[in-house]
């Protein structure tokens, strides 16, 4: 059985935090990956790219997400950017088709609390207290699991399945192209890292889970040699 973690290097981030931006840039500069895989779909990628291009502070703004910063750091390197996340419309459709009214009402009662809980996690992340931040993120995820299990299943479990399957697909593309040791840097939210790592070590279970959940696999979008978003 192939050890995909030999080639895939997940980096957990706290979205939009300055520390995550610095971590992403450093990872690109120190590892020189053949590919960067981002927790984005094409629609969200295009939105971020347009937002940067149309911003009057383009080229000077420090308020980037770690995904944009990582793409910028690639510069002229011979590298690909892959978008590995589930399509946002599919996420919405899957939640709406499975959610119960009881779940929705229960989540509405605690949504603001969970948001505040996660914001505290981001502040801790910025201070370099990543373990403490992860405890906050995991606490918010656990509240979601108990209160709105359908949302948790789609946002966490099913997206992990899709991203792990696409990472395996990407790795195989490079291996079949005679790249013996592909180096694939993967930027995802910190809450996804452990689940994705576990799935990458057990492709058979990953394949069965995708089939059981009736998730249709589609290849990730690849963007060649992106210089600046």
- Domain presence at residue 215: yes
Which of 64-68, 97-101, 191-195, 224-228 is predicted with the least confidence, judged by mean pLDDT? 224-228
- Summarised one tens digit per residue, pLDDT across range 138-193 is 999 999 999 999 999 999 999 999 999 999 999 999 999 877 789 999 999 999 99
Asked if residue 105 belongs to a domain, the reply is no
- Residue 30 and residue 163: Cα distance in Å, rounded? 24
Give domain status of residue 38, yes or no.
yes
Within-domain flag for 60: yes
Q: What is the pLDDT of residues 37-48, one digit of tens each?
A: 999 998 888 887
What is the extent of the structural domain holding 165?
4-96+149-224
pLDDT at 229: 38
> d(Cα 119, Cα 128) in Å, to the nearest integer?
14
- State how many domains the chain has: 1
Burial 131-169 (b: 16+ CB within 10 A, else e): eebbebbeebbebbeebbebbbbbbbbbbbbbbbbbbbe
């Amino acid at each position: 059985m192939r050890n995909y973690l030999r080639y895939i290097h997940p980096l957990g981030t706290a979205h939009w935090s300055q520390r995550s931006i610095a971590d992403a840039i450093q990872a690109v500069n120190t590892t020189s990956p053949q590919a960067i895989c981002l927790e984005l779909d094409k629609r969200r990628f295009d939105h971020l790219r347009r937002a940067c291009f149309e911003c009057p502070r383009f080229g000077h703004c420090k308020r980037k997400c770690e995904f944009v910063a990582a793409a910028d750091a690639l510069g002229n390197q011979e590298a690909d950017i892959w978008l590995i996340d589930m399509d946002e419309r599919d996420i919405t459709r899957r939640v709406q088709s499975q959610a119960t009214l009881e779940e929705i009402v229960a989540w509405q009662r605690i949504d603001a609390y969970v948001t505040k809980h996660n914001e505290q996690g981001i502040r801790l992340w910025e201070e370099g207290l990543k373990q403490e931040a992860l405890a906050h993120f995991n606490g918010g995820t656990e509240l979601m699991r108990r209160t709105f299990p359908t949302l948790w299943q789609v946002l966490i479990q099913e997206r992990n399945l899709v991203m792990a399957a696409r990472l395996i697909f990407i790795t195989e593309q490079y291996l079949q192209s005679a790249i013996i040791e592909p180096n694939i840097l993967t930027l995802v939210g910190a809450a996804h890292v452990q689940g994705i790592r576990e799935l990458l070590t057990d492709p058979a279970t990953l394949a069965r889970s995708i089939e059981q959940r009736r998730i249709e696999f589609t290849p990730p979008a690849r963007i060649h040699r992106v210089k600046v978003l």
